[in-house]
């Protein structure tokens, strides 16, 4: 069983000609088959955690360790992290002009699997995954995210998730900008992947609405760069009723 272990993680970022510490000692363990929801107000460090795990060069890790199956993630390049089984669905997916969705997906699958998927089975696999996400087949020939609506970009992220089958999936505010119908379709895609029991999910959000569709095993509240409280799914219900004021009062968000 794959396990992502984060211990005493401290992360800084350069902003306004100054170094600012965003994460101030995060401890978290995510195992294959588990779903952890990371919740908290804007600026609390949730997305910093996601991008630091993925290896974004903007963020500097000053203390702590991150391991996946005992291997040092922080010593890996971005592509090595992906091949090791880490996946990041971005809050704001980027456009890749000149690269079709079909080429992007097959190239990604080849890098992850170590060999190119057999074309006949691959085409069937992609077609079924797109149908499940209510994506028009013509999207396969469009450039990655170019001219896509917000909902289409998020569906494409979940399409990648379904096809690449990572060990640990980090979903950074996947619900951001989605209408009710798109949220339902995207959530169903995440639940299909979760249903295999082979993926650990780190779901980052500051709204509870996505948790009506994707039921977490654990909920962690971020405040000022730390995990302020952890609990079960009932903690999300508490946040829905009371908000984050109890966690931010008297403190400064990172």
Question: What digits encode the pLDDT tens for the residues 124-174?
Answer: 999 999 999 999 999 999 999 999 998 999 999 999 999 999 999 999 999
Pull the structure tokens for residue 223. Answer: 């405040």
Closest by CA position to 52, among listed 26, 29, 34, 33? 26
Q: In what order do the strands lie in the sheet with 35-39?
A: 86-89, 168-172, 200-204, 35-39, 218-223, 226-231
Q: What pLDDT does 1 receive?
A: 82
Q: What pLDDT does 91 receive?
A: 87
Q: What pLDDT does 98 receive?
A: 95
**Position 232 confidence tier, pLDDT thresholds 50, 70, 90:** very high
Q: How far is CA 15 from the centre of its chain?
A: 24
Pull the structure tokens for residue 81. Answer: 């992290």
Q: What pLDDT does 251 receive?
A: 44
Q: What pLDDT does 55 receive?
A: 95
Q: What pLDDT does 16 receive?
A: 81
Q: What pLDDT does 104 receive?
A: 95
Contact at 8 Å (CB) between 167 and 86?
A: yes
Q: How far apart are CA 3 and CA 15, in angstroms?
A: 33
pTM of the complete model: 0.91
Q: Average pLDDT in the 180-203 region?
A: 94
Q: What is the mean pLDDT of the chain?
A: 92
Q: What pLDDT does 141 receive?
A: 94
Contact at 8 Å (CB) between 235 and 38?
A: no
Signed CA dihedral, 37, 146, 103, 124: sign only: positive
Q: How far apart are CA 209 and CA 190, in angstroms?
A: 15
Question: What digits encode the pLDDT tens for the residues 36-75?
Answer: 999 998 889 999 999 999 999 999 999 999 999 999 999 9
Pull the structure tokens for residue 136. Answer: 């028009």
Neighbours of 63 (CB within 10 A): 14
Domain ranges of the chain: 3-97+169-248
Question: What digits encode the pLDDT tens for the residues 192-221?
Answer: 999 999 999 999 998 889 999 999 999 999
Q: What pLDDT does 254 receive?
A: 35
Q: What pLDDT does 247 receive?
A: 86
Cα–Cα distances (Å) from 90 to 138, 150, 176, in that order, read: 23, 12, 10
- Asked whether residue 176 carries a pLDDT value surpassing 60, the answer given is yes
Q: How far apart are CA 104 and CA 242, in angstroms?
A: 43
Q: How far apart are CA 68 and CA 3, in angstroms?
A: 6
Q: What pLDDT does 50 receive?
A: 96
Region class of 63: left (phi > 0), else alpha (psi between -120 and 50), else beta: beta
Question: What digits encode the pLDDT tens for the residues 75-101?
Answer: 999 999 999 999 999 888 989 999 999
Report the CATH superfamily, name and number, of domain 3-97+169-248: P-loop containing nucleotide triphosphate hydrolases (3.40.50.300)
- Asked whether residue 253 carries a pLDDT value surpassing 50, the answer given is no
Region class of 177: left (phi > 0), else alpha (psi between -120 and 50), else beta: left
Q: What pLDDT does 122 receive?
A: 94
- Asked whether residue 252 carries a pLDDT value surpassing 60, the answer given is no
């Amino acid at each position: 069983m794959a396990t992502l272990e984060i211990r005493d993680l401290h992360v800084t970022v350069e902003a306004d000609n100054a170094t600012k510490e965003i994460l101030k000692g995060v401890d978290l363990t995510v195992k294959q088959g588990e779903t952890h929801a990371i919740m908290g107000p804007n600026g609390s460090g949730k997305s910093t955690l996601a991008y630091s795990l993925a290896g974004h060069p903007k963020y500097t890790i000053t203390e702590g360790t991150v391991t996946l199956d005992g291997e040092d993630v922080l010593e890996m390049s971005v592509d090595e992290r992906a091949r090791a089984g880490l996946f990041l669905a971005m809050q704001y997916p980027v456009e890749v002009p000149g690269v079709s969705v079909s080429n992007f997906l097959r190239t990604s699958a080849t890098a992850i699997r170590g060999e190119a998927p057999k074309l006949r089975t691959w085409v069937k696999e992609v077609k079924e995954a797109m149908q499940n996400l209510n994506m028009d087949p013509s999207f396969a020939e469009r450039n990655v995210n170019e001219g896509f609506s917000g909902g289409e970009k998020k569906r494409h992220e979940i399409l990648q998730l379904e096809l690449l089958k990572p060990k640990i999936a980090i979903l950074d505010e996947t619900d951001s900008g989605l209408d009710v119908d798109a949220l339902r379709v995207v959530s169903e895609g995440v639940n299909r992947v979760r249903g295999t029991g082979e993926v650990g999910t780190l779901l980052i959000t500051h709204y509870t609405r996505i948790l009506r569709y994707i039921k977490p095993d654990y909920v962690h509240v971020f405040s000022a760069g730390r995990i302020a409280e952890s609990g079960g799914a009932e903690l999300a219900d508490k946040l829905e009723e009371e908000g984050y004021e109890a966690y931010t009062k008297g403190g400064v968000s990172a």
